[in-house]
């Protein structure tokens, strides 16, 4: 079946603008994760959803970052007043309830803040 998809693939924006990044998990997967991968680094956890609720948002760097998953499937990561330091690849992953903890990743959105 289809894997995790993310749109857009690339996003270029100007400092101070608002952006939304979308993640479409594998159908039926109840758990969804957002990670941020800066250049030359491994991915860093941002937020985890179980169903519609954010079970752990401890990785969000500040209150400019927010994520929603209103119907328990698609999730949107929202970044307000973007800064150049927000430039990174934003990865989304999902996994189903009751499996052996493998997270299936999407191809990521590369965000560039000019």
Measured in whole angstroms, the distance separating CA 97 from the mean position of its chain's CA atoms is 19
Lookup: tokens for 23: 């993640």
Binder among 19, 108, 111, 113 for another protein (CB under 8 A): 108
- Interaction of residue 72 with another protein, rule CB under 8 A: no
Binder among 35, 36, 69, 75 for another protein (CB under 8 A): 35
Q: Tell me if residue 86 falls in helix, strand or coil.
A: helix
| In contact, 106 and 6? CB cutoff 8 Å | yes
Instruction: Please work out the total of residues on this chain that contact another protein, with binding judged by CB under 8 A.
Output: 32
For the CB of residue 75, give the shortest distance to another protein in the complex, in Å: 15
- Interaction of residue 59 with another protein, rule CB under 8 A: yes
The phi and psi torsions of 85 (rounded to 5 degrees) equal -70, -10
- Interaction of residue 97 with another protein, rule CB under 8 A: yes
């Amino acid at each position: 079946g289809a894997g995790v998809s993310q749109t857009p693939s690339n996003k270029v924006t100007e400092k101070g603008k608002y952006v939304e990044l979308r993640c479409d998990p594998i159908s039926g997967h109840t758990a969804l994760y957002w990670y941020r991968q800066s250049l030359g680094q491994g991915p860093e956890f941002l937020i985890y959803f179980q169903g519609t609720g954010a079970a752990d948002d401890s990785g969000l760097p500040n209150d400019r970052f927010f994520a929603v998953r209103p119907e328990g499937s698609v999730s949107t990561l929202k970044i307000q007043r973007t800064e150049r330091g927000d430039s990174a690849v934003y990865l989304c992953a999902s996994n189903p309830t009751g499996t052996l903890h493998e997270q299936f990743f999407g191809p990521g959105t590369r965000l560039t803040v000019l």
